[in-house]
Structure 1
Amino acid sequence: MNTKQFEQIHKGKGFIAALDQSGGSTPKALLQYGIHESSYSSEEEMYELVHEMRTRMIKSSAFDSRYILGAILFENTMDRLIDGKHTADYLWEEKGIVPFLKVDKGLAELEDGVQLMKPIPDLDDLLERAVKRNIFGTKMRSIIKEANSAGIKKVVEQQFAIGKQIIDKGLVPIIEPEVDIHSADKRASETILKDEISAQLSALDQDAKVMLKLSIPTEDNFYSDFMEDPHVVRIVALSGGYTQAEANDRLARNHGLIASFSRALAEGLTAGQSDDEFNAMLSKSIQEIYEASIK
């Protein structure tokens, strides 16, 4: 593990940029960016376009390590180049930003009020490639839609089981059991989730390190206890469908919780903007998300 990267993620002031839209969410990300599905006719063309969008964000003067501690990439992005360097190397060597990799294969069907991760059959191979590509940590997402104790227990057990596999490869897993912000019993789900995470953290080996990526809680500072846990490197928050303004407002009320926004970070960016317009919009977003993250 890179000690400098670890210290930056553990103690740095700033937030983590989520640039990890994958196959299912890429068309939505491109549409938000102003590129319609009629603009591409194959998956390869789609990934080329989204890499151009991500490259434009990463190379922007606004995308700066004074505000951004790390960035989460999709597997396809990890394998592509920016100015002749693999994306993770460009992030760290040129920008001083720590690279992470999304490793899940999407969500299973809804059962017991939750969506577990689909099986990840080639995870070992992917993790070995990630190590070779100088990735620091990983991210994987499940969704909780109802306060169903059995379902939430399964989500957290699956997350930590795969997390241990990731730790064994020398990487830091971001455990992401997202609670749907539209859930009718979000607060009750968070109470069950907190208990299950606590149980899993207490069962980890002494030196094991994880990060948590959680929905901004209904009750402010609800997850503060986890910030003192020696296993937890950092707790980051997803925007979960909130507008950037609302996500920032809610985040700012949770001291020590930092952003890991995806859609909310890219809000307002379009392919048709001039570089000056694009950089100004991205800079404004980054500044506002940063300010909410350091409160």
Structure 2
Amino acid sequence: MATFLKADKAKELADIAKRIASPGKGILAADESTGTIKKRFDNIKVENTEANRAAYRNLLFQTTDLGRYISGAILFEETLFQRNAQGTAMTELLHAEGIIPGIKVDKGLVTIGGTDDEKATQGLDGLAQRCSEYYNAGARFAKWRAVLSIDQANGKPSMLAINTAADALSKYAVICQENGLVPIVEPEILSDGSHGIEVCARVTEKVLATLFKSMSDHGVLLEGALLKPNMVTPGVDCPQKEDAATIAFFTVRTLRRTVPPALPGVVFLSGGQSEEEASVNLNAMNAMQPHPWILSFSYGRALQASCLKAWAGKTENESAAKKVLLARAEANSMAQLGKYLGGGSDLAASVSLFERKYVY
């Protein structure tokens, strides 16, 4: 397995993956595309300009002590090469906090022909050259998002969609590793729908089993890769709601049935959960220790939503916004350790962040 990698490169990849999947730390996903961050800025009445995007990312990355809780940050391509108003590279700001820069490398979704609007992820063409350029620019890991939907009445996800996603994720992972980047493989199953948690568990198990078989066939070095899956939850429109202990049980059981212990870490996406839900559910999983992998977080909206509201595009709000970001990062750090006690009366952190058919 992974015989194409030289020993020194394999060791470097494994070391980086372990650093990212460190106890008490997780990933800040700040890889929103220009279009997606416009939606975020529209909500706080901030114009979507390059200067404002740089100002916001500068706020995130200059949060003192963020590196105590965050081991890596996923960037959009613009941000990897961006500088703040003072001329300092964004990657330098991350390095100052001991945070490893990463990069989103996929090119979005297209419809798979012959399916009921099921999606494939594009971006393999030219990926090797881009990964080499990203490595030279300071990135040390990458992320590729595949998207699957549950719709039992219409046979979704189809095996065609599952196999398409698994194949693309595996090819992407190999290309990344050949160019020195740790791949995060993200087979996201959207929470849209009225299905129960048992259905989500069955589908997630099938998807992950297919994915790791494909990764084995392609020769992906598991020790130098990370998984970014959805938690196993009911569909957002399901009348039967589940508590954190039930979500943790089904999620951990699914991982134990499918994910090889050679993989160093599983970094969950929040999938539209509120900030508080994402922390509480992660905590419940880590309260079930021991696990063969680090169970951590790679959150975007579930780390940034309250921070964005606190900032509102105003320089005088930066200090308050940084405090909010640091508080959510610390909460998720504690959840990764199974020691999170909950956020009490913080209503903002309990607001649902769900978006139907989420794209970014």
Q: Same fold (TM over 0.5)?
A: yes
Aligned with 1:91 (options 88, 91, 94): 94
Q: In the TM superposition, what is the alpha-carbon distance from 1:89 to its structure 2 partner?
A: 3.4
Is residue 26 of structure 2 the alignment partner of residue 24 of structure 1?
no
Instruction: Look up the equivalent residue of 1:264 and give its one-letter code.
Output: A
- 8 Å CA contact 2:71, 2:99 repeated in 1: yes
Is residue 121 of structure 2 the alignment partner of residue 107 of structure 1?
no
Q: Which residue number in structure 2 is paired with residue 223 of structure 1? A: 255
Aligned with 1:53 (options 52, 56, 75): 56
Is residue 224 of structure 2 the alignment partner of residue 186 of structure 1?
no
Q: What is the alpha-carbon distance in structure 1 between the residues aligned to residue 258 and residue 73 of structure 2?
A: 22
SS of alignment partner, residue 188 of structure 1? helix
Q: 1:8 to 1:132 in 2, by over 3 A?
A: same
Q: Which residue number in structure 2 is paired with residue 139 of structure 1? A: 143
- 8 Å CA contact 1:114, 1:152 repeated in 2: no
TM-score by length of 2: 0.72
Structure 1 residues 140-162: Cα deviation after superposition (integer angstroms, max 9, x where no partner): 11111023222112111111112
Q: What is the alpha-carbon distance in structure 2 between the residues aligned to residue 238 and residue 77 of structure 1?
A: 21
CA RMSD of aligned residues (A): 2.3
Q: In the TM superposition, what is the alpha-carbon distance from 1:228 to its structure 2 partner?
A: 4.7
Q: In the TM superposition, what is the alpha-carbon distance from 1:139 to its structure 2 partner?
A: 0.4
Q: In the TM superposition, what is the alpha-carbon distance from 1:28 to its structure 2 partner?
A: 1.6
Q: 1:29 to 1:116 in 2, by over 3 A?
A: same
Q: Which residue number in structure 2 is paired with residue 195 of structure 1? A: 209
Q: Which residue number in structure 2 is paired with residue 130 of structure 1? A: 134
- 8 Å CA contact 1:72, 1:100 repeated in 2: yes
Q: In the TM superposition, what is the alpha-carbon distance from 1:133 to its structure 2 partner?
A: 1.0
Q: In the TM superposition, what is the alpha-carbon distance from 1:67 to its structure 2 partner?
A: 0.6
Q: Which residue number in structure 1 is paired with residue 284 of structure 2? A: 253
Q: 1:50 to 1:216 in 2, by over 3 A?
A: same
Q: In the TM superposition, what is the alpha-carbon distance from 1:29 to its structure 2 partner?
A: 2.5
Q: What is the alpha-carbon distance in structure 2 between the residues aligned to residue 279 and residue 103 of structure 1?
A: 27
SS of alignment partner, residue 171 of structure 2? helix
- 8 Å CA contact 1:89, 1:134 repeated in 2: no
Aligned with 2:320 (options 255, 269, 277): 277
Q: What is the alpha-carbon distance in structure 2 between the residues aligned to residue 112 and residue 155 of structure 1?
A: 15
Q: What is the alpha-carbon distance in structure 1 between the residues aligned to residue 52 and residue 258 of structure 2?
A: 39
Q: What is the alpha-carbon distance in structure 2 between the residues aligned to residue 164 and residue 206 of structure 1?
A: 6
Q: What is the alpha-carbon distance in structure 2 between the residues aligned to residue 3 and residue 81 of structure 1?
A: 29
Instruction: Look up the equivalent residue of 2:60 and give its one-letter code.
Output: M
- Higher mean alpha-carbon deviation, 130-139 vs 196-205, is at 196-205
Structure with greater strand share of residues:
1
For the pair shown, the structure with the greater C-alpha radius of gyration is: 2
Q: In the TM superposition, what is the alpha-carbon distance from 1:21 to its structure 2 partner?
A: 0.1
Q: What is the alpha-carbon distance in structure 1 between the residues aligned to residue 323 and residue 204 of structure 2?
A: 37
Q: 1:234 to 1:20 in 2, by over 3 A?
A: same
Q: In the TM superposition, what is the alpha-carbon distance from 1:112 to its structure 2 partner?
A: 5.3
Q: In the TM superposition, what is the alpha-carbon distance from 1:187 to its structure 2 partner?
A: 2.7
Q: What is the alpha-carbon distance in structure 1 between the residues aligned to residue 79 and residue 160 of structure 2?
A: 35
Aligned residues with identical type, % of pairs: 21
Q: What is the alpha-carbon distance in structure 2 between the residues aligned to residue 210 and residue 161 of structure 1?
A: 13
How many positions carry a matched residue from both structures? 284
Structure 1 residues 67-100: Cα deviation after superposition (integer angstroms, max 9, x where no partner): 11111000000011245443223312x1101111
Structure 1 residues 42-79: Cα deviation after superposition (integer angstroms, max 9, x where no partner): xxx2x3312211110110125x2211111100000001
Aligned with 2:75 (options 58, 73, 76): 73
Stretches of structure 2 that go unaligned for 5 or more consecutive residues are 1-11, 151-156, 234-249, 287-293, 339-360
- 8 Å CA contact 1:30, 1:50 repeated in 2: no
Q: What is the alpha-carbon distance in structure 2 between the residues aligned to residue 58 and residue 114 of structure 1?
A: 36
